[in-house]
């Protein structure tokens, strides 16, 4: 069964062939040429009927999908209302979980727009988390990711009837767990009772920023104990040092590029501390021109884009300032790092801890893990020499 695009391409070929016969023969048409043209016309007509049928089927499918979309939208609207009532204590936790679980068919108990706002805050703050490979699972337990490293092997030139040598490639497994990350926030009863105050957005943004800072730091410096293993802590990450003590130059970053194999540089980028970014922007060549120039399409509204030696340079606020012993830059392709998350965020309410101050606490938890998932050397970090 051909697709609509394939049918249109076939129609164009038939039409081109028919026109070619007409242009070549002109007035000298014989019976065979006329029969061929007639055949092309019938085939084109048949193709047009098939395309029309595909369009009609798509139209029916779209119309039938609209009620389902409307039902899902109504379900989310009802869930948002329940969530707001739960936050303001207009319904109990037990009632909320019971009714919300029914609405979402035992799925997520937090509305999609709340999760979206939370993740937007995480993506807005972080420069690593938005770009890494994400794996979402619904089950507990370790997640095993197989790895293959065949860089030590190569082929061999052989003579006639020579035997072909065999060499096994190196395999391994990277395991991702689901460690718990949590944060709590205290809200006064007055705010909860103020119907004009968007309590859900306030909680989403506050918790999102806290979680973002924690996740971003762990993706760089995490030791892998009850938290992700950061890029700088991975055994295969190359540890480069600056040429001069207590200083960073563009040459230090360019040397980082050549610390990993050429095959790992495609799609790679620099992440640097804000201190390093300021230093690079002030660095000039022999003619007094800045080493890093903003790209032509950059705007202040969308963020200024810089490149060094052709690779993007982005400021990361968890990397450290230019002090001896500090890690100030990372270079590599962020898709070589994976973050596994188990379920979406869970929000719980505590009405009792803050009774003396007439406040209510909300606690958010999520479970995740992260590791470099490439068996090859794919990242390099830069440490300031003492």
* Lookup: tokens for 54: 């595909």
Domain ranges of the chain: 4-80, 110-153+168-386
pLDDT at 301 over 70: no
What is the per-residue pLDDT across 3-16, written as a single tens digit (0 to 9) for each? 777 888 888 888 88
- pLDDT above 70 as % of the chain: 88
* Beta strands in 250-336, from DSSP E residues, in sequence order: 269-272, 306-308, 311-315, 327-332
Beta bridge partners of 360: 187
pLDDT class of 106 with cuts at 50, 70, 90: very low
pLDDT over threshold 80, residue 147: no
Residue 233 has pLDDT above 70, yes or no: yes
The string of pLDDT tens digits covering residues 64-75 is 555 555 566 666
Q: How high does pLDDT run on average in the chain?
A: 83
Q: Is the pLDDT assigned to residue 18 strictly greater than 90?
A: no
SS3 368: strand
Mean pLDDT of 266-295: 91
* Contact between 113 and 145 (Cβ < 8 Å): no
Mean pLDDT of 112-131: 78
Which of 62-66, 111-115, 293-297, 326-330 is predicted most confidently? Answer: 326-330
Q: Report the 10 Å Cβ neighbour count for 154.
A: 7
CA distance 376 to 372: 10
pLDDT (tens digit per residue) in 148-179: 777 778 888 999 888 898 888 777 788 899 99
Three-class DSSP category at 144:
strand
What is 110-153+168-386's CATH number, 1.10.1060, 3.40.50, 1.10.1760, 3.90.1690?
3.90.1690
**Contact assessment for residue 340 and residue 222, using Cβ atoms and an 8 Å cutoff:** no
* pLDDT attached to residue 104: 58
């Amino acid at each position: 069964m051909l697709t609509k695009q394939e049918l249109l391409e076939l129609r164009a070929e038939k039409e081109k062939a028919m026109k070619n016969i007409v242009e070549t023969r002109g007035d000298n048409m014989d019976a065979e040429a006329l029969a061929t043209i007639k055949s092309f016309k019938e085939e084109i007509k048949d193709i047009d009927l098939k395309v029309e049928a595909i369009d009609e089927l798509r139209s029916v499918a779209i119309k039938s999908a609209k009620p389902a979309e409307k039902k899902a939208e109504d379900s989310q609207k009802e869930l948002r209302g329940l969530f707001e009532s739960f936050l303001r204590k207009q319904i109990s936790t037990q009632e909320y979980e019971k009714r919300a679980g029914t609405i979402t068919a035992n799925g997520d108990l937090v509305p999609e727009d709340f999760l979206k706002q939370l993740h937007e805050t995480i993506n807005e703050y972080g420069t690593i988390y938005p770009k890494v490979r994400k794996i979402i699972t619904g089950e507990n337990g370790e997640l095993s990711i197989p790895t293959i490293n065949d860089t030590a092997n190569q082929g061999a030139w052989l003579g006639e009837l020579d035997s072909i040598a065999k060499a096994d490639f190196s395999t391994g497994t990277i395991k991702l767990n689901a460690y718990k990350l949590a944060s709590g926030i205290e809200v006064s009863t007055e705010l909860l009772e103020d119907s004009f105050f968007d309590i859900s957005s306030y909680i989403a943004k506050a918790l999102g920023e806290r979680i973002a800072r924690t996740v971003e730091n762990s993706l760089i410096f995490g030791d892998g104990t009850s938290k992700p293993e950061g890029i700088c802590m991975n055994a295969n990450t190359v540890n480069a040092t600056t040429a001069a003590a207590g200083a960073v130059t563009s040459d230090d970053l360019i040397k980082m590029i050549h610390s990993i194999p050429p095959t790992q540089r495609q799609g790679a980028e620099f992440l640097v501390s804000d201190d390093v970014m300021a230093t690079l922007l002030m660095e000039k060549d022999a003619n007094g021109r800045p080493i890093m120039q903003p790209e032509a399409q950059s705007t202040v509204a969308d963020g200024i884009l810089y490149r060094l030696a052709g690779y993007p340079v982005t400021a990361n606020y968890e990397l450290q300032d230019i002090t001896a012993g500090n890690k100030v830059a990372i270079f590599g392709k962020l898709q070589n790092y994976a973050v596994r998350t188990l379920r979406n965020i869970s929000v719980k309410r505590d009405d009792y801890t803050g009774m003396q101050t007439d406040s209510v606490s909300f606690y958010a938890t999520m479970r995740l893990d992260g590791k470099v998932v490439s068996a090859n050397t794919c990242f390099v970090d830069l440490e300031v020499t003492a």
